[in-house]
Amino acid sequence: MSSPLIPTVAAIIAIGVIAQVLADRFQVPSVVFLLAVGVILGPEGLAILTPQSFGGPEPLSAIVGLSVAIIVFEGAFHLKIDKLRESPGAALRLVTLGAIIALVGTALVVRFALDVSWGISFLIAALLIATGPTVITPLLEVVPVRDRVGAALETEGVVNDVTAAILAIVVFDVVLSPGQSAVALVHNFASRLGLGIAVGLLVAGIVWYLLMRVDLSPNSAPQHARLIVLAGALVAYGAADMLASEAGIAAVATAGMILGNADLPYEEDIASFKGDITLLVLSFVFIALAALLSFDDLLQLGMPGLIAALVLALVVRPIGVFASTRGDRLPFNERAFMSFIGPRGIIPASVATLFAIQLQANGRPEAASVLVGFVFLVIFLPVVFEGSLARPIASRLDIIPMRVIIIGGGTVGRALAERLEARGENVVIIEEDQQMVEKTRDEGFTVHHGDGTDTDELRAAGIENARIVVAATGNDDANLLASQLTESKFDVETVIARANDPDNVDAFEELGVKTVSSSMATAWGIDNRIERPALADWMTEIGRSGDVQETEVTNPDCVGMTIRDLDEKLPDGVIVALVSRGDENRMPEADYTLQRKYHLTFVGQREPVREALKTCD
């Protein structure tokens, strides 16, 4: 007779996949649907799922632990050094100063709002430091924020998961055995963290050696690479956790960060495989989480518990974020969004449940009830509200980066998308032909399958958040219709169309559409090759390794600065080629003074140009 656990797990995964599809369809973080499904199926709903469905709390804890290991590893795997450089100061301070503010602030709120001991207050605070990749990643999937914001939030999620798990174990030891010295506490924390990092480094080194030095079968090398990395993540977690409780989280986070930046072979295959596995275990973890929920624990907290949770979200979190990002180049609207995004994940829930069981066995049922109830309250409220409102608030705060819609996934559309994405733009290609859709997706572009001359398809592709639309198909009638629809139906700053027949240029321009004639562009290119070969070669090189970018002067430090002063701040390999003010464009003299809302055009190598843009925006 088969175990009832098998259909239970299979059903959870199937329901989780459906929830993921619905979340993608409605542009809502998947955790909102997953938690809703979990509550309905859990003991407070239909009672289909309970801890006993998994054989009891201990087997469920083990399954959740391995699932969390995969999720944390996958989140750390995507923390690229280049991405972290977008906002290194903010990321570092969020996991240090921000974590300290969260710890102390939460402990104070819990102590005075819920009237519990300092030990339980700091235990709850230690757990709630964690934001976690289990919730941050799904949120960022539906809110495509700028790299510097995403890097800071993702780093905070991965690192603070580790900090919370280990710190909570140390604080719990104090709760059970009070009177330990501060030196002993620091040693306990550092030893667990150090052990986890050491195991993670060792496993990462072994996995790297296997992938780089061992000849894998050519026919199945990508598959073997994926399985080796997955096994490495699970081994790192199991080995470290066996040596010291919760050290496994530090081990998988370390291994993930090292391997994610190690330029592994078949890295795209590994990342794609890990992403699929993570979606499955994420579904399982959040639905199974509902089997641990008790409404009685939540109701016992009453109004003080609700007020405390709101204070954490509306006061403690913003203080931590604004203090951590002070002096950074993050503008107010991005800091405000980061303050709003602070949901907790599965680690506080699973560890709090384990602690509650031990507190009950220790004769402290009231402390156990407050611990589980408040932790679950702080998990559920932000996930529901932040998950549902994250995208509207991001749009309201104007932090979603410029979206470019390219209609037509042919050679021209893909070449343009490649150049724009290399500059960090958020590009979506609309293509009707299924074969072209598959080819474009295989090349790594984001593609919406549909007719670019259909209003509903344009809306589904995200045109309402687009600032630029390019009609780049090989059909002038389609380009003209798409441009006309965009101009009349949507508030898009710039519409650019490709005119394949030069005789159609006037029709486009009568609509106010900026037009590029394919024939004339080709003729100009050939003429440049004939008359200005050096310029043609230079423009080609700009497209390969260089860049030309325009930005508006918004940084107060740049207002009143001369071009000479600005040049001293710019990195080598970039110059200010043009200064624009309204319709006036001029080559700048050294003593030319910049004012707010002037536009600067930078020319140079790609990375120095990006650094120059950050100087003035």
Spell out the domain ranges in the chain: 54-267+299-397, 403-522, 544-614
Q: Which of the given ranges, 167-171, 235-239, 270-274, 564-568, has the highest pLDDT on average? A: 235-239
The answer to which of 136-140, 226-230, 532-536 has the lowest mean pLDDT is: 532-536
Q: How far apart are CA 533 and CA 157, in angstroms?
A: 51
| Spatial separation of the C-alpha atoms in residues 586 and 563, rounded to whole Å | 12
pLDDT over 50 (residue 1): no
Average pLDDT, rounded, for the chain: 80
Q: Could you tell me if 266 and 94 are in contact, meaning their C-beta atoms sit under 8 angstroms apart? A: no
Query: How high is the pLDDT of residue 205?
Result: 92
Taking only the tens place, the pLDDT of each residue in 443-473 is: 777 788 889 888 888 887 878 778 889 998 9
Whether the predicted pLDDT of 86 surpasses 70: no
Render 7-32 in DSSP notation, one character per residue.
HHHHHHHHHHHHHHHHHHHHT--HHH
Q: Decide: residue 129, CB within 10 A, 0-12 exposed, 13-18 middle, 19+ buried.
A: buried
CATH C-level class of 403-522: alpha beta
Q: Give the separation between CA 116 and CA 510, rounded to whole angstroms.
A: 72
φ and ψ at 411, to 5 degrees?
Answer: -60, -45
Instruction: Indicate if the pLDDT at residue 535 is higher than 70.
Output: no
For 356-398, what is each residue's pLDDT tens digit? 877 877 888 888 888 888 888 888 787 777 777 777 888 777 7
Chain CA centroid to CA 441, Å: 21
Q: Count CB neighbours of 11 within 10 A.
A: 14
pLDDT tens digits, 170-201 = 888 888 877 777 787 788 888 888 999 999 99
Mean pLDDT within 19-33: 70
Across 219-235, average pLDDT: 84
Q: Identify the band that residue 542 occupies on the pLDDT scale cut at 50, 70 and 90.
A: low
For residue 91, pLDDT beyond 70: yes
Percent of the chain with pLDDT over 90: 9
Amino acid at 611: E
Sign of CA dihedral 518, 524, 528, 529: positive
Which pLDDT value is given to residue 105?
Answer: 94
Distance CA 457, CA 143 (A): 20
Total Cβ atoms within 10 A of residue 550: 12
Pick 544-614's CATH classification: 3.40.50.2000, 3.30.70.1450, 3.30.365.10, 3.90.420.10. Answer: 3.30.70.1450
Separation CA 106–CA 127 (nearest Å): 10
More reliable by pLDDT, 520 or 570: 570
Amino acid at site 122:
F
Higher pLDDT, 148 or 96: 96
Q: Please report the DSSP string for 539-551 in residue order.
A: HHHHHHTEEEEEE
Is beta strand 466-471 parallel, antiparallel or unpaired with respect to 599-605? unpaired
**pLDDT attached to residue 216:** 66
How far from chain centre, in Å, is Cα 537? 38
2 has pLDDT over 60: no
- In this model, does residue 484 exceed pLDDT 70? yes
Secondary structure percentages of the chain, helix, strand, coil, to 5: 70, 10, 25
Q: Domain 54-267+299-397: which CATH class?
A: mainly alpha
Q: Which of 139-148, 409-418, 549-558 has the lowest mean pLDDT?
A: 139-148
**Alpha-carbon 38 to chain mean position:** 24
What's the rounded Cα separation, in Å, for the pair 17 and 194?
Answer: 37
Instruction: Say whether 544-614 and 54-267+299-397 share the same fold.
Output: no
How many residues appear in the chain? 617
pTM for this predicted structure:
0.65
Beta strands in 309-383 (DSSP E): none
